[in-house]
A and B are shown apart, each in its own frame.
Chain A
């Protein structure tokens, strides 16, 4: 039994991929250390470096999940080392493998070259380009909480690169702007003070922009800060379509689903290729399409497969458009409910959570206004 104030130590075993870009030497080395029970992966690396092998290279700074320096992989999944507690892993006897992040060149051990990351970040022009009218009375320009909620999640990004590490589209197209840069882009597109919305959307709609995202959702899964970069990309898609910036094949593809839903209810699958790629490009696919047709994979567009009561779906779209929640607002309206999933209380209201027996006292919270019913 430890005396009061005395630290209880646990045994932690780690395997670390060591790499030297100068020589190309690569080796998986195992370390066994004694660490306090509260130790994070970063604490364990510090112990390895201090007591076992001073040549180990990794980045760190704040040690409290705000500087974004210590992104790395544990058992193949990107994590912030300072956020990852080791107690349960050590207790289970599992020996995790620690390696550098993916999709970025490794310089040494756990240190990656962040230059390609910052190049994409800078390409987003990640600064405010003021474009708002100053109030005539000379007072400050004030923005409602509701309007800032649009970019609440995007503003949480700490540029750690965990999302980029696992991006499946970037593995295949290294020029893809990627989840971090695009989430940063949304942070400014959605900012009511920014005046460059259209220019930004035009730029983010480029070949390696938003429509390159393959919706693998690894970025949402890995982000240690709850930014949900894939959702930010969807917001940019919605803003682009709402602004009529829809020449990209990805945007045309998405719009055809809308058209299908309101005309027949079901996807008009056979027309999707010409509607996405244009008739000329689609004709080049004839041989491919004929082979698919042989196996019944090209359902004839006529007569169309129409859902019963499809007029309801059509009328819903009219109604929705009148209510003017186009663009990112359509995504933002669901974020409040989805955020509850992070905290394991999906079905409860805030009031109910704080009314639980033994609940923490209710902190100050901005009043959430109920939408006035139409």
Chain B
């Protein structure tokens, strides 16, 4: 059911590593949802990982080149927007974009290097935006309200933002990083009830979950515990890295505390997808460690 009144908005789609690999369900649900919320996704084929903050930390000059290359290929599609579905990709790409747009000398140097290896140069004409922002306001939000016909029927949903869609706000800048509203607005437009809890803007621990597991788990338990105490049926996040720690590492939290949390975690596109009536072949809930289907069963008519 694609909307016919207005043509779809063409956006370059950067799915990032996880949606290509361990979180394929994020990719399939995003692809299925996109036309319904007015987006035509133009897939990028020649792009790489954004570096996930890791290449930024280890080899910052290489980070900038890799991200410039992604932006250059996005620009080459003729789209003026690069859409992401991951917080970390969003921060890395937006940061690189500002560096290049705000310093003509730096842009010239990077472009010369890009051209040397056969990449088209980047002129600075692409804006990087997350799917979350596209459907939380404007045209996308209006479409979202229409397609969420099946509704969430009062499902109690805990919004979990994750860090790198909010902070640093000078680079992200979509909403007040201390009082964000976008996820709540989407949850409510879908007929769900947004649960409030303090850790919704805090860190899930993912960046250090392999190198400092104990420290990371000490962070991870906060949103899981608080959301359940506030009565959440499910949690939703716009970030596949947050999703991986909240969903997969939840079993380690259970082992460490001897408690059963069993909190299902949904990707943003899945939550809207449920309200829009996408089916399991697109939502792929079987790929989750904590199966969301029992919690969603009461939505069945």
Contact = CB atoms under 8 A, between A and B. Distances in A.
Interface of A: 75-77, 168-169, 171-173, 176, 211-218, 220-221, 228, 230, 234, 237-238, 241, 248-258, 260-261, 265-267, 269, 272-273, 276-277, 288, 291-292, 295-299, 305, 307-313, 315-317, 319-320, 323, 325-326, 328-331, 333-334, 336-338, 340-342, 346-347, 349, 370-371, 373-374
Given A217-B163, A298-B22, A250 B49 contact: no
B69 A316 contact: yes
B163 A241 contact: no
A295 B287 contact: yes
B226 interface: no
A266 B46 CA distance: 11
B51 A261 contact: yes
Most buried by A among B51, B61, B118, B251: B61
Most buried by A among B56, B96, B251: B56
Interface string B11-43: 000000110111110000000000000000000
A288 B171 CA distance: 36
Most buried by A among B20, B108, B168: B168
Contacts of A334: 60, 64, 95-96, 98-99, 103, 106
A315 B210 contact: no
A86 B294 CA distance: 49
Given A171-B218, A373-B108, 18 more contacts: A75-B178, A169-B203, A212-B208, A217-B168, A218-B163, A257-B58, A258-B51, A265-B49, A267-B49, A296-B24, A307-B45, A319-B65, A323-B113, A330-B59, A331-B60, A341-B171, A347-B102, A349-B104
A196 to B, nearest CB: 22
A273 B56 CA distance: 20
B48 interface: yes
B60 A238 contact: yes
Contact of B215 (A173, A234, A326): A173
B101 A320 contact: no
A313 B64 CA distance: 12
Interface residues of B, number: 81
A167 to B, nearest CB: 10
A168 B210 contact: no
B101 A347 contact: yes
6 residue pairs, one from A and one from B, having the closest CB atoms? A337-B102, A330-B60, A172-B218, A334-B99, A217-B167, A330-B61
Most buried by A among B177, B198, B210: B210
B58 A261 contact: no
Interface of B: 17-18, 20-24, 45-49, 51-66, 69, 95-96, 98-106, 108-109, 112-114, 116-119, 163-164, 167-171, 177-178, 198, 202-203, 205, 207-208, 210-212, 214-219, 244, 248, 251-252, 286-289
Contacts of B287: 295-297
B71 to A, nearest CB: 14
B211 A253 contact: yes
Given A297-B289, A337-B98, A370-B105, A237 B58 contact: yes
Contacts of A333: 61, 64, 99, 103, 106
A265 B73 CA distance: 14
Contact of A269 (B21, B60, B95, B289): B21
B21 A254 contact: no
Q: Is the interface of B mostly helix, strand, loop or mixed?
A: helix
Contact of A249 (B23, B24, B210): B210
Contacts of A173: 212, 214-215, 218
A266 B205 contact: no
A315 B117 CA distance: 6
A325 B65 CA distance: 12
A346 B101 contact: yes
A342 B170 contact: yes
Contacts of B95: 334, 338
Contact of A241 (B59, B104, B105, B108): B59
A234 B102 contact: no
Contacts of B167: 216-218, 220-221
Contacts of A295: 286-289
A172 B205 contact: yes
A234 B95 CA distance: 14
Contacts of B217: 172
Nearest to A220: B168
Contacts of A250: 208, 211-212
A235 to B, nearest CB: 8
Contacts of A307: 45-48
A257 B60 contact: no
B215 A212 contact: yes
A228 B47 CA distance: 29
A299 B58 CA distance: 25
B190 to A, nearest CB: 25
